[in-house]
Structures are given as C-alpha cells and as structure tokens.
Amino acid sequence: MPNLSLPVDAYLCVVPADMRRSFDGLMRMASEHIACDPLRGGLYVFVNKRRDRAKLLYWDGDGLAIWYKRLEEGTFSLPMVEDDVTGVTLSGADLTLLLQGLDLKIARRRKRFRQPA
C-alpha cells in the first residue's frame, strides 16, 4: 500500500476497468463514472471484471501515481450498490478492508458520532 496520509477521500469505480489502462484512461474513467477530477486529490480505485486485480490512481502533490495489485487467489469483494450507481465513496478503513480481502457486504459499521455535513 502506498504511504498515504489518511484520512484521504477514496472513490471506488464499480464499473469494471480494463487493466491495460494507464494514467489518462483511468483519469477518464474517474471523471466519467465517479464524476471527480483526480488532479484535485483523492484516491481512485479500479477493479477488473474478474475482480482479481486492482489499480489505485492518486495525485501525490506533483504528479499522478498508480498502485497495482494482482491477487494470486481469490477476488476483491465490492460493496453492494444500486444498479445505476457507478462510483462509491470509501473511508480509509473500508479501502484497507477491501484490499485485505474482507467482505464489505457483510461487515457492519457500529454506531459512531458523525459531524453533520
């Protein structure tokens, strides 16, 4: 995992990504499916159709960087979303759980105080 200072905004694109895409292709997917500009910061997560590979695109202050993970066994478990949703906001903890192989569909979040938006 890249050394990122958390909390950082993380956005998961639930539309399968072609893992041959690089900086420009992933930036295009972020703007089309997540409606965000990677140059403004944040971390963008893309998973392939088989869900055994993930790419993270992020702005590190003076340029874009990509982190790539290929699973030798198993798949990434994506959170449940509505049919028309193409992007999901993740907390730093959710991103860590997703990358470590925990199922976000069955994980329950305990009640905590949240600052009103």
- pLDDT digits 0-9 by tens, 9-18: 899 999 999 9
Under the banding of pLDDT at 50, 70 and 90, the label for residue 19 is very high
80 part of a folded domain: yes
pLDDT tens figures, 44-98: 999 999 999 999 999 888 899 999 999 999 999 888 778 778 888 888 888 888 8
Total structural domains within the chain:
1
114 part of a folded domain: no
Q: What pTM does this model have?
A: 0.81
4 part of a folded domain: no
Q: Which residues contact 59 (CB under 8 A, 6 or more apart)?
A: 38, 39, 40, 41, 42, 65
Q: What is the pLDDT of residue 22?
A: 95
Q: Which residues contact 37 (CB under 8 A, 6 or more apart)?
A: 30, 31
Residue 78 · residue 104 · CB < 8 Å: yes
110 part of a folded domain: no
pLDDT of 4 over the 70 cut: no
Q: What is the pLDDT of residue 60?
A: 85
Structural domain for 95, as ranges: 10-100
